[in-house]
Amino acid sequence: MAKRTFSTFETFLIFLLVMMTGVTVALLSLLFITSGTIENNKDSGFLTTQSPPATQGSSTPQGSTLTQGPADTQGPTATQASPTPSTPEPTLFQNFSGYHIGVGRADCTGQVADINLTNTFTLLYPSCFIFVSSFLKVLNRLQSKYGSLYRRDNVILSGTHTHSGPAGYFQYTTFVLASEGFSNRTFEYMVNGIMKSIEIAHTNMKPGKIFINKGNVDGAQINRSPTSYLWNPLSERARYSSNTDKEMLLLKMVDLNGDDLGLISWFAIHPVSMNNSNHLVNSDNMGYASYLFEQEKNKGYLPGQGPYVAAFASSNLGDVSPNTLGPSCINTGESCDNANSTCPIGGPSMCIAMGPGQDMFNSTQIIGRIIYEKAKELYASASQEVTGPLASAHQWVNMTDVTVWLNSTHTGKTCKPALGYSFAAGTIDGFGSLNFTQGTTVGDPFWDSLRDQILGKPSEEIKECQKPKPILLHTGELSKPNPWHPDIVDVQIITLGFLAIAAVPGEFTTMSGRRFREAIQEEFATYGMPNMTVVVSGLCNVYTHYITTYEEYQAQRYEAASTIYGPHTLSAYIQLFKVLAKAIATGTVANLSTGPEPPFFKQLINTLIPNIVDRAPTGKHFGDVLQPVNPTYRMGEVVEVVFVGANPKNSAEILTHQTFLTVEKYEATSATWQIVHNDASWETRFYWHKGLLGYSNTTIQWHIPDSAQPGIYRIRYFGHSRKQDLLKAAVIVSFESTSSTFEVVTAL
């Protein structure tokens, strides 16, 4: 076959296509993507300190913070809702021998338009998806406000891993390209939301108790790479009844009177019930579980408000899907549960896994409710109290240069980061757009040649180190304009009595998590701390893609192709975390080296989408109604109103912005309008439709639930427009509008 050649210009155009479509789509499972729809992201901060400070390896008072990333939703304060209770600045460690506990949440959604993803379904609260740049910024602000109380060793930022949040806040070039540039709006909004949730938790800290419980969650997950799992030794697989980890671990937090404060649970499931056709910002199945639990505990409050905080954290979810019907060819209906996830007709793009519901919204509710119901059961029956000292250990390590002892005589080594061909194939939860195939172990001359012309050839060293991965992108050897992937990553363990929270910087597969937990537990036992419960807290502090077992790596499906530090990545993490476990068990944390601090880049690729002035049609104003509501609706119907809109990203520059919408009910007895829903509510949807030259429309929907009370209602829209007069700086101008009233009735 004749060799294909391309001109420089043709090559450049093809490269743009590859980078901006193939890489972007493949990264959907890794990123928050915001495109035209908004759902609230809540940051749930949990502070646990022990009094008196009896931590091993340190003589200073030790607090620990776990902040979980996008999980549920928050909106404006309802008229009828009482304010979130707060207490004076706590005096810690006074005449109490247990834990001090504080919980808090704040909105960290950020920019929801002109960025990957652009609408709103539910907001994101800290519980936020956090990466290294955010982690470092938060640590700096914590140090400025609280001194040495909250530090890198006792603060964990963990993500639920929703795939439907705003992108553009991670500093490494691979993610910046996939996000179409760095969004400082989202970055700052996220950092501020995390800080606010921690500040609330710190202010509300009080003496309390922690109870632990465990139980299996059935019917919520499948292994999306079962053929890779089968590469693990038969003797090892025989020890487990399932190819996914079904166990949920839950911590129940109460004050000394037994009053509820909050919960943290860990469960292995990908929040991808909302598939990659979705354009609504939302917190997916884990966020819906949090939403249900908080609505149950915070009666009378709007979503994202109220004193009780429920955080549903990720665990070893790398190969775990919520799309429980499994993969099938959408054009023929036959199963495509094979090593390559491909269909006879149409190839891999036809092989898609479906959830249990009628659509992705319904599937999200079904899976989220299953998780919620198990958490509710475990919470109610939790009786084993967590007691004992609180300790923490943290190191930064160069993951590209770790020598791994495979046995007493042989060593292996981690590699500079690289992504394989199957990375671009995506998964059964979201396929790639360029017809790459999972399970690819041999490169393609066309793609290799294209990569070499644009990015340069990967070195023989990285190709040899990463085998059998065929390298698509040798990101560890690319440094312009900034490194494409992190070299320096965090390893961290926090212990509360017999519980060890291992904060891992990526997505462990099922068997990787099992091996990891077992090894850390054995290390604690070896040095005098037997019977430790070890939980894998996934996607913490920095993001490093996936971590498969050595055997799964040989199969080179998506998860293995995305194990960026090579085949010995899992062994390296086990080795590094064993060092931390030993240090905690022997009281030698103070002797641990800090390790090389990761960089913080100030010069990043700005967003490729410019800021333009918003415009209203001639004779119209922002917020004017273009399509009015109907006069009457029944339960189960959808209220829809269309307004003259403005770019929602403007609102991310206004830190006091609370919501894009409210649904309000008229109360005749008090002659007032009471807020019943906001943009964090599951029942509301916010769509922004971008036109040309700054013109746009906004559509707000209310899906009337069966629980709605008959009566008179209205919908309000809160927005911000960008205005710029000649030779003057742009300003952001707020506006609001209200629909006409309508009646909700039980029957027409």
CATH number, domain of 674, equals 2.60.40.2300
Co-location of 557 and 665 in the same domain: no
Q: Are strands 632-634 and 684-690 parallel, antiparallel or unpaired?
A: unpaired
Co-location of 384 and 525 in the same domain: yes
pLDDT at residue 78, rounded to an integer: 38
Tens digits of residue pLDDT in 15-73: 333 343 333 333 333 322 223 333 344 466 777 666 543 333 333 333 455 555 443 33
Co-location of 737 and 636 in the same domain: yes
Co-location of 232 and 302 in the same domain: yes
Nearest to residue 311, comparing CAs of 122, 501, 68, 84? 68
Residue 123 lies in a domain: yes
Co-location of 343 and 214 in the same domain: yes
Last residue of a domain, one of 568, 591, 614: 591
Residue 748: band (very low, low, confident or very high) from pLDDT cuts 50, 70, 90: low
Q: Are strands 206-216 and 247-255 parallel, antiparallel or unpaired?
A: antiparallel
Report yes or no: 545 and 565 within 8 Å, Cβ to Cβ: no
Last residue of a domain, one of 540, 567, 591: 591
Mean pLDDT (whole number) for 215-242: 98
The three-class DSSP label of residue 462 is: helix
Residue 302: band (very low, low, confident or very high) from pLDDT cuts 50, 70, 90: very high
Checking if the pLDDT of 338 tops 60, the result is yes
Tens digits of residue pLDDT in 97-123: 689 999 998 888 777 777 665 445 555
Last residue of a domain, one of 574, 591, 608: 591
**Cα dihedral sign, 338-339-345-350:** positive
Q: For residue 350, count CB atoms less than 10 angstroms from its CB and return exposed for 0-12, middle for 13-18, buried for 19 or more.
A: buried
Higher pLDDT, 584 or 14: 584
pLDDT at residue 49, rounded to an integer: 66
Tens digits of residue pLDDT in 349-404: 999 999 999 999 999 999 999 999 999 999 999 999 999 999 999 999 999 999 99
Report yes or no: 722 and 730 within 8 Å, Cβ to Cβ: yes
Checking if the pLDDT of 490 tops 70, the result is yes
Checking if the pLDDT of 714 tops 70, the result is yes
Residue 581 lies in a domain: yes
Residue 601 lies in a domain: no
pLDDT at residue 48, rounded to an integer: 67
Tens digits of residue pLDDT in 518-562: 999 999 999 999 999 999 999 999 999 999 999 999 999 999 999
pLDDT at residue 68, rounded to an integer: 53
pLDDT at residue 24, rounded to an integer: 35
pLDDT at residue 44, rounded to an integer: 67
Checking if the pLDDT of 188 tops 70, the result is yes
Residue 134 lies in a domain: yes
Can you say which residues are annotated as belonging to the binding site for Zn(2+)? Answer: 161, 270, 507, 546
Higher pLDDT, 615 or 14: 615
Checking if the pLDDT of 169 tops 90, the result is no
Q: Report how far residue 581's alpha carbon sits from residue 583's, in angstroms, rounded to the nearest whole number.
A: 5
Higher pLDDT, 164 or 388: 388
Co-location of 576 and 644 in the same domain: no
Q: What percent of the chain has pLDDT over 70?
A: 84
Residue 168 lies in a domain: yes
Checking if the pLDDT of 2 tops 50, the result is no
Co-location of 644 and 517 in the same domain: no
Co-location of 309 and 394 in the same domain: yes
Residue 49 lies in a domain: no
pLDDT at residue 16, rounded to an integer: 39
Cα–Cα distances in angstroms (integers) from residue 213 to residues 252, 375, 379, 484, 514, in the given order: 8, 9, 7, 41, 19
Checking if the pLDDT of 162 tops 80, the result is yes
Tens digits of residue pLDDT in 589-604: 999 999 999 998 888 8
Can you say which residues are annotated as belonging to the binding site? Answer: 161, 270, 507, 546
Co-location of 581 and 631 in the same domain: no
Co-location of 384 and 528 in the same domain: yes
Checking if the pLDDT of 6 tops 80, the result is no
Report yes or no: 688 and 728 within 8 Å, Cβ to Cβ: no
Of the listed ranges 76-90, 465-479, 571-585, the one predicted with least confidence: 76-90
Co-location of 634 and 564 in the same domain: no
Residue 491: band (very low, low, confident or very high) from pLDDT cuts 50, 70, 90: very high
Return the residue matching tokens 């707000």: 700
Co-location of 635 and 518 in the same domain: no
Tens digits of residue pLDDT in 244-265: 999 999 999 999 999 999 999 9
Q: Report how far residue 208's alpha carbon sits from residue 253's, in angstroms, rounded to the nearest whole number.
A: 7
Residue 391 lies in a domain: yes
Instruction: Say whether 321 is catalytic.
Output: yes
Mean pLDDT (whole number) for 655-668: 93
Checking if the pLDDT of 235 tops 80, the result is yes
Residue 424 lies in a domain: no
Cα–Cα distances in angstroms (integers) from residue 34 to residues 39, 281, 429, 680, 687, in the given order: 9, 5, 18, 15, 12
Whole-number average pLDDT of the chain:
86
DSSP structure string for 645-700? ---GGGGGG-TT---SEEEEEEETTTTEEEEEEETTSTTEEEEEEE-STTBEEEEE
The active-site residue, picked from 321, 341, 562, 739, is: 321
User: How many domains, in total, are found in the chain?
Assistant: 2
Secondary element (H or E) of residue 452: helix 445-455
Range of the structural domain that residue 670 is part of: 624-745
pLDDT at residue 279, rounded to an integer: 84
Higher pLDDT, 19 or 160: 160
pLDDT at residue 34, rounded to an integer: 29
